[in-house]
Every structure is written in structure tokens, then in C-alpha cells.
Structure 1
């Protein structure tokens, strides 16, 4: 693999197209340093195959145990025909610090949606909520 840092000044080299010469009439790609006059002609194909390890994606809201220790409160289910009278909730700061916390609700019945979200500002007074 050719150099990726300048041997003179240790800055990162960038790829650019060299002007045509008698040896390379169509021109050739080169590594060049932007701070000093160093150039390195790329006269053949270079590649490096690297296998990347996949990371397991963590559910940022807690996965299947996210509702295990959630608080509950009396609430009526918005779904048609649902008899749920209790809702679990937790709050999470997902925006900047000057915004209110976002409250996530879940009803423990099969008919209800899996997770609904409601902003705390709308819970308090809908007339004071900012339009987005």
C-alpha cells in the first residue's frame, strides 16, 4: 500500500490528477501533499480488502425490558373497543436541554399501539406548545 501521510511534513496526502507526460499521455493519479511539494505517482491499482466486524445494535430505549420498571398512571386507551384503564410511561431527554422531556406511553393491552410518544409541553397546556 502506498503512503497515506507525507514523509516530509506528516500531513495527510490527497489524491489528485497529474498532468499528462510522455510516460503517461492520459495523465495519472497521484498522492500530493497540500503543504509541501511532495508528490507520489500512482502508476498501478492499489486496493485493500478489509473485513469489518458488525456490532450488535443496542436498543437505545431499553429493548424488551424497557417497560419492566416503568411507572404507571390511570389513563384511557384511545383505541376502539380497548378496555385499558392504566398506562405505563417513562420520560427521556431526546432533544436539547432547553426543551422539555419526551414522555413515552404504553398501554398493557394487546389492542393498543406498542409505544406512543407525547411531548411534556403538550401534556401541560396545549395553547403554550410551540408549532414546529
Structure 2
């Protein structure tokens, strides 16, 4: 399995024809790669940087609070935010951040 270096699509195999060798091609762009030897290539997955659910101290001034217990420090109050991260027929996911300044542990409730 190999991916196009330009657009990232999964490359497909074009069978050998008369006078032409086996080759890989991209279905969305004009990239073509001839197959000369056995293909052995490993890709490392790159984690994308995610935006934080709770960002900045100023955002905490406006974030709603709820009476939920922090699993780390057992503080009885946490900021919360709800987001729809799965399909519409599934319930919303609630993200929490502990109100304790020294803890600020983040967790979620699906």
C-alpha cells in the first residue's frame, strides 16, 4: 500500500500491458510510479495537532461551569463544553476541565 506524494490518495495498481511494466498510479492527479522491484515502504503516522477544547485563560471567563467531580483532584466544579463529534443520531460529547487552578485536568464524557 502506497500513497501519492502530492495529494495523499491511495495509489492503485495498473496491470502490465504489452511493452509496459506494472505501475502504480494516482486516481486523482497525474502521478505515476513504475514498479521495478518488490515494494517495501513503511509510513509513519503523523499525529495532527489538535486545537484545544478549552483555549486560553480569557475563554474560561465565559465558559459555563457545572457541579462535576474531577477524577484527578476530586474538585467539585468543572468547566464544560458540548460538541457533536459523531453522527447526528448519537448523543453529544461533553468535554470538561477542572476549575482548580493547580489541576486543570481535562476529560470527556461520551
| Structure 1 length-normalised TM | 0.40
- Computing the radius of gyration from Cα coordinates, the structure with the larger value is 1
